[in-house]
Chains A and B, each alone.
Chain A
Amino acid sequence: MPAQTRHEPHDIAVAIAALVAPIFDVDPATLSPSTRLMADLPCESIDLLEIGAGLNRCFAIPVRDAAAFLTDLRIHVLEAERTGEAPEARLAREYPHLSATRVAEVLAAVRVPGAPPVLTIGDVVAYVAWSLARHAGQPA
């Protein structure tokens, strides 16, 4: 799919749904930006790796899995609390693709004991959109 020509968030979301659906053997139409990858789907670390590799291929962008999939989220929050930094500022710096509203949501969710990982397809869409804008013209 020549996804480099599809940079609108809706089109990115459709492309990511098409990428994710066969991994979990689900209908792409059942996926949306609000779908939680680790909570609504049986998504494991190797699935995230495959999604990351697929993003590389589909969008021709470099993918830093730790940022795209918020894998170090709790570590960043703990580290911010240890150093006295505002967690919101830390997360905004680590995940520049997330909006301030989303950072607040993520931070609230991660503070709930036992809550599942908060990563959504919408977060991945935001990462791809941010990366496409940042790396326009650079090889993946």
Chain B
Amino acid sequence: MKNIDSHGHVTGRSIYLDDIPTQRGTLYSVVFDAPVAHAKINHVDYSDALQVPGIERIITHEDIPGENQIGGIIPDEPLFAEDEIHFWGQPIALIVGTSEHVCRKARSLIKIETEALPVITDPREAFAKNQLICPPRTFKMGEPDAVWDACTHVFEGRADSNGQEHLYIETQGAYAWEMENGNIKIATSTQGPTAVQRTAAKVLGLSMHNIEVDVTRLGGGFGGKEDQATPWAVMVALAAKLMHRPVKISVNRMDDMRMTGKRHPYSSDYKIGLDEEGHILAYEAMIYQNSGAAADLSPAVMERTLFHCTNSYYVPNVKATAACCRTNLPPNTAFRGFGGPQGMFVMESAIAHAAHEMGIPARKIQYKNLLKDGDEFSYGQIAEHANAVKAWDDASRTYKLSAIENEVRTFNEEHHTEKKGLAIQPVCFGISFTNTQMNNARALVHVYHDGSIHVSTGAVEMGQGVNTKMLQVAMNTFGVSANRVRLDTTNTTRVANTSPTAASAGADLNGKALEIACTAILGRLQKVAAEKLNSAPERITLKKETVYIDDAPTELHWEELVMTAFSHRVSLSEKGHYATPEIHFDKSREKGHPFAYHVYGTAIIVVKVDCLRGRYVFEDVNIVHDFGKSMNTIVDLGQIEGGVVQGIGWMTLEELSFTKEGRLLSNALSTYKIPDIYAVPEVIDVKHLETAGHELAIRKSKAVGEPPLMYGLGAYFAIQNAVKAFNPGYLPKFDAPFTPEKVLLSLYEGKEIGVKSGKGALES
């Protein structure tokens, strides 16, 4: 089934935040933000700004009737800075006026006097100065210290991965207005409507029932609108309450890039021990997360880093410690993979390091250590239906790995200024919010008495196709055609207390809740049909809009059945509630069974590096992926292709750059480059791994949002292998992204060339 939203998208009729028709009297707003990264605020002078014609009001922390607090996990982040600035771009005030243009003009006239405080941008420095968001956590299994001596090989090193800008094409935004009795309605572009509702209530000094949050769709989220859509929504809600006028914000791209957090940069030390054959016996990692200036979701992101620190491998002795280090960057936040990719990068770096020293391809070590059924993860869960080996073997067979190896070797022998690199990237990703209590969802279903069906769930559509999957659940449960079902907006008055649409779990959780709701109504309809047809409810099924008895069609049509139920005063509405069974996790022991299931897959990546210019093209990315029983192959394929490209972008072109003063240099699309159509692999081939699917996945169709991003990790190692083929003197480093700059410098590292001030070898 094609994406049900695509008609609206291709005609421009889909409604995003900035497309909502504005109400009479709507005001517009712009945020005034900190022009330094860490400082005391001595004075802010708004007088000139307030003189600009069209400016109605400038709202600061002093205007907040409730709490000046938006921190989700830890209450450590003000909506507006009060006495201190903690990051460049931190909101200080909201300028409200008759147009965005006048607000921007006014912003340029605000004068701020500050007193500089020391700026930290490096997480290791923050750690050394004990600037921690929360206490570090350690996942431990076995005892690495007891086995280092028994290892034939032990290697230690450092791995760094930079952050990543979400670059949703629709920037952040929100629109709020006052309803009767001081209640506030907020239309916003958020993955977490309940977070917006809860935070707005807290800041405005209201209760949650006073705040209604409505989300039609997002022009991309990727985690960047899970927590960080909240401040804008709260700001305009506050303005609407104070000013009794509708107030809107549509954040300009450079403001968005400057003020919002990104994927966390990480810096880690690893130690890996292997036996003679390449079995990994022990692994230790100390992981420094660059959390930015406030907690945001950092502790949860750090937790998932620990969960995924050994990726798809079984390692009997593991000790991984991670720390959320407070720096003066914008608070970093969720981004597809949620810390998992960063943890896996360290492990893959350790393996690549070991392979380099041992003089064997990394894939020999990778394969030997893949998870098997019964293996224990460092957090105590036992691998079940582990498809790591199956996916690898299938990929190796389907795409003829040995032929690829030969082809790359031959190419490299025959070419001098171009070299190819091959890497294999296995992925294992756990599905569920790692915070067990969040794994629940609700759905509300009305069957109207004309037979049409109205569905609301807690899931937010952001391009991942959750609307389409929800519609499939409803139409399949009722046995009706798609045009009978309408997916409504995500609204806190229809579905309450929702978890954000995140953790790849949106379709599973909300789909299961929806299935429960639909099944309940179906049960009542079966009874009505049985009565009318003198049969028994358990013999009744609904297919093709028709009532069947024992698989034989009857004359009773869907519309007539619904009308009959309605006239018999049978409820045609239902709310379904689902809470994932089986999962649990004990943080005091760091052990448990946190994931409903794992998703597996293997990617084979081949890159070609232009050794003259340092440019590279990815030729083939061939993937065998564990979809379970995909309920929508078009939607799921799109998630894989988009995910792997986003992962490759993170590992290659996308380079966040801050000055040591904490100012973002890569602050626009002209300086921060995401893949364009020519930067993506020439071929991305995706094959479904034949598996039975999983009962805890919606219709056995496994979650697909985040796992494919991590195939992109292989891009780094493929490039590295090509560089090694060109420059035997290159010492492998693990410092993503592998930009063309780093590639060129690596290609010529250690070579005698006259490009420095004098002649000499390039530093490594």
A interacts with B: no
Q: Hey, which bits of chain B sit against chain A, CB under 8 A? A: none
Q: Hey, which bits of chain A sit against chain B, CB under 8 A? A: none
